[in-house]
Amino acid sequence: MKTFTVNLLIVVNQIVCRMYGQESLVLDKGKLEGALSPFDFSYDTDEVTYAKVFRNLVVAHGFQDGNKRTACLTIKAVAPLKCSDIELANMALDIAQGKYRNDIGDLPQRMFGTKEEELVEDIIPDNSKSVITAVIDNYGTTTEPYRGPSFIMPDGSYLDIKDVTNHSDVEYWLDQQGLSIKADYTRRSGSPTLRSLGCIRIDTPKYYIQLPYDNITSAQYSTLKDWIEFLFVECGAPFVEVMAQGTSPVRYRYEDDIDADYIVDRIRRYYITDHLYEAHEDLAEGPYLKEDAFGGATQVSNIGQHKRSSIDLMEEDEEDLELKHI
């Protein structure tokens, strides 16, 4: 599978903007990075992954101008599309107008001409309840938060993995049992199987939350709130970082008006809007420096700089993407 980076997106945007006398300006590099996250964290077919990235790039609005043109040209350069230029342009317009906001639906079929039954994933075990049960039987659960890596299970309990080195040890065990959905998991990916089954990955020493692909249960929301409070009050954490597919990671600092309730509310909104944050008067304007939760290089995420609602992000002028632009 061919992938691409934010740097390539920037080059393509410079080209399309120059063609029409526009200035190429990156509004939010973090949103562009988040839009490409399916390349790192997706366990779908190639067609579904490309469709998610295409959708994300249009919605993210990471550039001042030419977002849809950049998305079309870049995806066309790497993906084995079966659609025409006109069809791809129409898909971009559909996305910008709100279609595929919560689900990519038939977008892969439109892009690749793939029959729906060919897109059905067979990598996730049909006996998902049996997988969850097997993990719980092996490791056990607890209702009390603790310092160390864990997962919040669908029933709201914590998977008791105090004695393991990191989350990927659970995936290794699942692989040994023939229950893992992905053989080439890494320390960074944690446990793709548990994430695909709705489990929330948490870590106290590193202060982060990695959300599953689909919405979480009421019991998980309740436990997550308790864990965030434990993190701030008992562990003295100055922040918690939240990661989710299709959006930039966001680091919430513990302040008077940003507490567990606030963060849980943002997570609820993520499963509706695909965004972990929105403009907030108490979040600092301008570049927001943050470290990768896994100890990676510092990157910039502009929080509060662009005061747009999630709907505004999709309201780029339609006239900037016609057939002649592709």
- What is the residue-wise DSSP string for 128-176? HHHHHHHHHHHH-EESS--SSEEEE-TTSPEE--TTSSSTHHHHHHHHH
Residue 307's CB is within 10 A of a number of other CB atoms, namely: 11
Q: What is the per-residue pLDDT across 157-171, written as a single tens digit (0 to 9) for each?
A: 999 998 888 888 998
Number of domains in the chain: 2
pLDDT for residue 67 is more than 90: yes
Kindly report which listed range (100-114, 149-163, 223-237) carries the lowest average pLDDT score.
100-114
The answer to whether position 194 is within a domain reads yes
If asked whether residues 155 and 74 sit together in one domain, one would say no
Higher pLDDT pick, 122 / 273: 273
CATH of the domain at 81: 1.20.120.1870
The answer to whether position 32 is within a domain reads yes
The answer to whether position 210 is within a domain reads yes
If asked whether residues 114 and 151 sit together in one domain, one would say no
Q: What was the pLDDT predicted at 64?
A: 92
The answer to whether position 221 is within a domain reads yes
Alpha-carbon distances of 176 from 83, 125, 182, 189, 192, rounded to whole Å: 41, 15, 12, 17, 15
3-state secondary structure of 120: coil
Q: What confidence category does residue 145 fall into, taking pLDDT thresholds of 50, 70 and 90? A: very high
If asked whether residues 159 and 287 sit together in one domain, one would say yes
How far, rounded to the nearest angstrom, does the alpha carbon of residue 155 sit from its chain's CA centroid? Answer: 23
Q: What was the pLDDT predicted at 34?
A: 85
Give the domain range for residue 31. Answer: 6-121
Q: What was the pLDDT predicted at 234?
A: 93
Q: What was the pLDDT predicted at 120?
A: 38
pTM over 0.85? The answer is no
Which residue in 156, 153, 164, 159 sits closest to 129, CA to CA?
153
Q: What is the per-residue pLDDT across 102-125, written as a single tens digit (0 to 9) for each?
A: 778 889 999 998 654 444 343 334
Cβ atoms of 198 and 154 within 8 Å: the answer is yes
Q: What is the per-residue pLDDT across 49-63, written as a single tens digit (0 to 9) for each?
A: 899 999 999 998 899
DSSP string, 288-304: EEEE-TTS--EEEEE-S
DSSP string, 1-22: -----HHHHHHHHHHHHHHTT-
- What is the Cα gyration radius of the chain? 20
Domain boundary among 121, 153, 175: 121
3-state secondary structure of 102: coil
If asked whether residues 158 and 285 sit together in one domain, one would say yes
